[in-house]
Amino acid sequence: MEAGGKQREYSRAEVARHDNAESLWVIRGNQVFDLTAFHTDHPGGSDVLMQFAGQDITEAMRDGAIHTHTTQAYRVLKDFYIGEVTADDRREHPAADGGRDEMDCVEEAVFLDPSKPLIGQMWGSRFTKEFYLREVHRAHHLPQPAVFFTNPLLEMFTRTPWWVIPLYWGPIIAVLLTLGLRYEPPSVMLVGWALGMVSWTLLEYSIHRFVFHYDENLPEGTVAQFAHFLLHGVHHYLPMDPLRLVMPPALSTTLGLIILSVLCCIFTPGMIHAVAAGLATGYVLYDECHYWLHHGTSANKYLCKLKTYHLRHHYKDFKAGFGITSDFWDNVFGTQFAASA
């Protein structure tokens, strides 16, 4: 709305001029939405949205042959609302199946206000487990990174740009390999490094499924929900926040030390270093891949398939599709998406 509470209105001709990646607007049900910041993050791919840039997408969103949209898709669309179509340009559309407009089917629940610091809200919440798990897995989108703390120093430690991960872990990997060469020859170190890389894919799947998505076994109460929210819940609540897509070094280092202590009980010096370096390399590739899956674009069919697969986990079924860099372990353990998901 404009100052004074007046509703901003746009003609269809004005919306039509916003038909490119730099400014992408659409009309849906006589409402105008600015999808410029979202089109590269669209679960069906940027190309699907680009086909309808500057146009009315009311009927296109109902067309399953183009791209299947759930109620969640309409809830996400609401985050990008900027105004209404002018009275002279308004059009009537046939009612959706069931006779009720899809936007009216979006439930409005009192959960968190993403425009305010989130940590205080979560700590002071009294949600039931059922309500919390339902709402935290409904994606929201903000035009800028969310605020966790009012204190700027604390807030700084919650934000991790994607480039911090290789910058932090690269030297650690180099040191591990250098120290390992004091105990084992390069050929043995290479085998250990490769073993670590392969092992990471299973570890990645296991952490995502059994730690990050400890959903159904989550105890009732604010403390459990608060821990869940910090660990992974906020990522599902705000899946496109660019500064909360990779793991903060403090958390990844803690997990790394736990894993290293286990390796010390299994391998000898040299192999410990090699496997640890392989695991760390796999982790770096995973975190960078994860960031790309949310914000990257590519003409490569495999990468596009991987992106769609992961975003399906966020927007359609968070109880399946736990693989990030591959769906291999999902297929092994039967956690792939159902055909209708």
Residue type, 336: Q
pLDDT at 4: 47
Mean pLDDT in the chain?
90
Q: What was the pLDDT predicted at 108?
A: 67
* Dihedral angle, C-alpha 32, 35, 37, 41, nearest 10 °: 150
Reading across the β-sheet that carries 31-34, which strands appear in turn?
A: 9-10, 81-85, 31-34, 23-28, 19-20
Tens of pLDDT, residue by residue over 41-85, are 777 777 888 889 999 998 888 887 766 677 778 888 888 999 999
- φ, ψ dihedrals at 98, nearest 5°: 100, -10
In tens, the pLDDT along 281-336 reads: 999 999 999 999 998 888 888 988 999 899 999 988 999 999 999 999 999 999 99
6, pLDDT greater than 60: no
Residue 101: how many CA atoms within 13 Å on its side-chain side?
11
Binding site per annotation, positions: 42, 69, 208, 213, 232, 235-236, 290, 294, 310, 313-314
3-state secondary structure labels for all residues of the chain: CCCCCCCCEECHHHHHCCEECCEEEEEECCEEEECCCCHHHCCCCHHHHHCCCCCECCCHHHCCCCCCCCHHHHHHHHCCEEEEECHHHCCCCCCCCCCCCHHHHCCCCCCCCCCCCHHHHHHCCCCCHHHHHHHHCCCCCCCCCCCCCCCHHHHHCCCCCCCHHHHHHHHHHHHHHHHHCCCCCHHHHHHHHHHHHHHHHHHHHHHHHHHHCCCCCCCCCHHHHHHHHHHHHHHHHCCCCCCCCCCCHHHHHHHHHHHHHHHCCCCCCCHHHHHHHHHHHHHHHHHHHHHHHHHCCCCCHHHHHHHHHHHHHHHCCCCCCCCCCCCHHHHHHCCCCCCCC
Task: Please give the annotated binding residues for heme, written as ranges.
Answer: 42, 69
Residues making up the annotated binding site for Zn(2+) are 208, 213, 232, 235-236, 290, 294, 310, 313-314
C-beta of residue 126 within 8 angstroms of C-beta of residue 222: yes
CATH 3.10.120.10 domain range(s) in the chain: 9-83
Q: What fold characterizes domain 9-83?
A: Flavocytochrome B2; Chain A, domain 1 (3.10.120)
28 close to 58: Cβ distance less than 8 angstroms: yes
Instruction: Pick the more confident residue, 186 or 21.
Output: 186
Take residue 51 and report the two structure tokens written for it.
């086909």
- Encoding tokens for residue 164? 């911090």
The CA distance from 186 to 182, in Å, is 10
Mean pLDDT of 145-159: 93
pTM above 0.85, yes or no: no
- 227-280 tens-digit pLDDT: 999 999 999 999 999 999 999 999 999 999 999 999 999 999 999 999 999 999
